A and B are shown apart, each in its own frame.
Chain A
């Protein structure tokens, strides 16, 4: 058994005998771009700072001799030989490096679905390169020329090959951008998308039970994070609490049901605040109020909360009252007028 230490965070991943570095990282939840898995394409190239490894046989076109000299290796074929291998991965807090945002990327609205009386779901496809992003991040939409200010909307799906983005957008009272979205963005519309922004990407190394709490279209980033986690066969319990005013405001119940059917560790609990639930097992009341009826101790849970700032604050307070640790709490207070939050340069991937 060797261990892989991630630099600069110092996080350690165990590498079982015979496993490649890529396999070990994936098993621990640390993603690395990859494609061919056998030393031919070069997409999983990283710099190895310390330790010995068996690179196996790889093509020069995937890893040039001068790159080897500089310490780079292909992790899809690399197997640790020394007891410890130190590689460059992510940031000081073991978050993955983020993709630099790009402005005005052309997209086409391919579909539009009314999810609730106030929330529509848009599906967008890129006409050029797909935007690379991490689940949980958001994009900015608007049309400055038409006097429609840019507003931030979380991406509701994990990245897909075809580059499709799913956005769930609530119509705000007096919200010019959300009105524009609801009235103008019909299938076929061409729009410009800027992003990705934000750092609400969770902790890829998390190995704890997970509690997600969302209200309204705050569900969007939670959906993306959950989809990504379930996609990589996350095995600890995941509970998703979703707060809505009425039955009509609950959406994506079909997807929740499918996730529950597919993943034994996933549990979905909707709660209604303004009417009694139709389902006898349904919850009634705001999440902070129902939380103690569902959990006695949250000291081992990773907590993800997304919604309005007030909703986030109340949920965090309720979770902390049940022992939740600050370092395991991740929040996304949705406030559409916020300027885009570009991560600091040190947290961005160098994609020259």
Chain B
């Protein structure tokens, strides 16, 4: 690194700061609704450690059941446990883009909430497996071995996503990011509300309820920002959003539906293993929606997103997998996607 030239010796005032940069700082506020959402986030904050984990008696489950339920949490962790760094990156971008103060705080609140969701994944997996991660755990049953093999591929694909996300975030405007964020939040809210409704284990039910409520606020943040920015959006951003929604569908299908093989790099028997594992979890009373219910929930979530994008004249991609017609997108790739959960 070269020695810094001391400009103060020859200039009365410094030159303009090269952007993007978090400096200079300011605290402008224009979007009153976001101040309300921030206040709500402060009011609604909760602590995963204070959920009643003591009521969750894992000894009531067989090892096969524990490994199967832990597998679902492992799937969730690919999406939900990566969310703190994902939103932290977005938070940094809001500073570098000199977003208004309540926007930055709202993104901080999302990052903080997602940290809670990540903790819940970790607490559930650790308690179920009596081990702190699904990959170095020694499986005790055949279901556990299949779950661990799948988990390896889930995290491998997660790593591809993270590399792509890091690459993509600097390239896109915040406006483009918001719709992908909204998509992830709609997907998340869909999952957590259905899990909260059917779950019988008190600690999970409470966690799902809390997480689902958090996602409601996150959706609200995205919607407010879209309402603020989309009417004056750069037209060249619209096709990007359409493509990102298609990519988001393919990526998030990994948790809401089933991972599509042309997008996810997974073995041919991955989905078969997953179905077998989920059947064990269901039988143990851990409610994972069946194939058709997943499909309907996913379709409904996508239609909600379509309702938002239609309002701003942004073409919705075709999602033939759940029967939604729209603009064909054929070049969605994990190397530059930005959907988050």
A and B: interacting chains? yes
**A61-B189, A61-B190 given as contacts; is B206 within 8 A of A36 (CB)?**
no
Q: Are B36 and A127 in contact (CB under 8 A)?
A: no
Please, could you name 6 A-B residue pairs with CB atoms under 8 Å apart, sorted by A? A37-B36, A38-B224, A40-B217, A59-B219, A60-B304, A128-B52
Q: A39-B223, A41-B189, A43-B216 are known contacts; what are 18 more A-B pairs with Cβ within 8 Å?
A: A35-B44, A36-B40, A37-B36, A37-B37, A37-B39, A38-B223, A39-B220, A40-B189, A41-B213, A41-B216, A41-B217, A41-B219, A43-B213, A57-B311, A59-B219, A59-B307, A60-B303, A106-B55
Q: CB distance A60 to B307 under 8 Å? A: yes
B282, CB-defined interface residue at 8 Å: no
Which residue from B36, B39, B46 sits with its C-beta under 8 Å from A161?
A: B46
In the complex, are the beta carbons of B52 and A40 less than 8 A apart?
A: no
Are B50 and A40 in touch, CB under 8 angstroms? Answer: no
Contact A162 B36 (CB under 8 A): no
The answer to the question of B227 belonging to the interface, with a C-beta cut-off of 8 Å to chain A, is yes
In contact, B40 and A34 (Cβ under 8 angstroms):
yes
Within 8 A of A (CB), among B201-230: 202, 205-206, 209, 213, 216-217, 219-221, 223-224, 227
In the complex, A129 has a CB within 8 A of chain B: yes
The 7 closest A-B pairs by CB, nearest first: A41-B216, A38-B220, A40-B219, A36-B220, A40-B220, A127-B52, A37-B36
Main secondary structure on A side of the interface with B = loop
A125 to B213, Cβ gap below 8 A? no
Instruction: Name the residue on A nearest B301 (C-beta).
Output: A61
Would you list which residues of chain A between 69 and 105 have a CB under 8 Å from chain B? none
Residues of B contacting A62 in the complex (Cβ-Cβ under 8 angstroms): 216
Q: Which of A34-62 contact B (CB under 8 A)?
A: 34-43, 57, 59-62
Cβ < 8 Å to B, chain A residues 194-222: none
Q: Provide the residues of chain B in CB contact with A36, threshold 8 Å.
A: 37, 40, 216-217, 219-220
A127 / chain B contacts, CB cutoff of 8 Å: 52, 54-55, 202
B50: nearest chain-A partner, CB-CB: A162
Is A283 on the interface with B (CB-CB < 8 A)?
no
Q: For chain B, which range describes its interface: under 10, 10 to 19, 20 to 34, or 35 or more residues?
A: 35 or more
| Cα of A275 to Cα of B327 in the assembled complex, Å | 83
Q: In whole angstroms, how far apart are the Cα atoms of A42 and B213 in the complex?
A: 10
Report A-chain residues with C-beta under 8 Å of the C-beta of B220: 36-41
A residues 113-151 with Cβ under 8 Å of B?
125-129
In-complex Cβ contact of A61 among B55, B224, B304 (8 A): B304
In the complex, A42 Cα to B217 Cα: how many Å? 11
Q: Tell me the bound Cα distance from A139 to B213 in angstroms.
A: 27
Min C-beta distance of B209 to chain A, whole Å: 8
* Main SS at interface, chain B: helix
Q: Are A125 and B52 in contact (CB under 8 A)?
A: yes
Query: Which of A59, A60, A125 lies at the interface centre, i.e. has the most chain B CB atoms within 10 A of its CB?
Result: A59
A108 at the interface (CB under 8 A from B): yes
- For window 163-179 of A, CB contacts with B under 8 Å fall at none
**What's the Cα separation between A125 and B202 when bound, in Å?**
13
Q: Are A59 and B37 in contact (CB under 8 A)?
A: no
By a CB distance below 8 angstroms, the chain A residues around B227 are 57
Q: Answer whether A108 and B52 are a contact pair too, CB < 8 Å, given A37-B40, A61-B186.
A: yes
Distance of A35 Cα from B210 Cα, bound (Å): 11
Q: Which residues of the partner chain B approach A108 to less than 8 Å between Cβ atoms?
A: 52, 54
CA of A86 to CA of B217, assembled, Å: 27
Which of A34, A43, A59, A125 has a CB less than 8 Å from the CB of B304? A59
Identify which of B52, B54, B303 gathers the most chain A CB atoms within 10 Å of its CB: B52
Q: Mark B19-51, 1 if CB is under 8 A from A, else 0.
A: 000000000000001001101100111110010
CB contacts under 8 Å to B, within A1-54, are 34-43
The answer, yes or no, to whether B300 is at the interface (CB within 8 Å) is: yes
Residue B308 CB within 8 A of the other chain: yes
Interface contact A35-B36, CB-CB below 8 Å: no
User: Is A38 in contact with B36, judged by CB distance below 8 angstroms?
Assistant: yes
User: Bound complex: CA of A162 vs CA of B49, how far in Å?
Assistant: 11
Q: Are B217 and A161 in contact (CB under 8 A)?
A: no
Query: Inside 8 A of B44's CB, which chain A residues have their CB?
Result: 35, 161
Determine whether the beta carbon of B33 is less than 8 Å from that of A38: yes
- Give complex CA distance A38, B311 in Å: 16
For the complex, give the distance between the alpha carbons of A84 and B50 in Å: 45
Contact of B43 among A41, A161, A162 (CB under 8 A): A161
What is the minimal beta-carbon distance from A130 to any residue of chain B, in angstroms?
Answer: 8
Q: Which residue of A lies closest to B312 (CB)?
A: A57
Are the CB atoms of A161 and B33 closer together than 8 Å? no
Q: Report Cα–Cα, A62/B227, bound state, in Å.
A: 17
Complex interface: chain B residues within 8 A of A162 (CB): 46-47, 50
Least Cβ distance of B318 to chain A in Å? 20
Per-residue CB proximity of B162-182 to A under 8 Å, as 1/0?
000000000000000000000
In the bound complex, residues from chain A placing their C-beta under 8 Å from that of B45 are 161
Complex CA distance for A37 and B50, rounded to whole angstroms: 26
Complex Cα spacing A127 to B54, Å: 9
CA distance A62 to B304 in the complex (A): 10
Cβ-defined partner of A128 (8 Å) among B54, B202, B224: B202
Least Cβ distance of B296 to chain A in Å? 13
Closest residue of A by beta carbon distance from B311 = A57
Assembled-state Cα–Cα distance A41/B36 (Å): 14
Bound together, the chains give a CA A162 to CA B219 distance in angstroms of 23
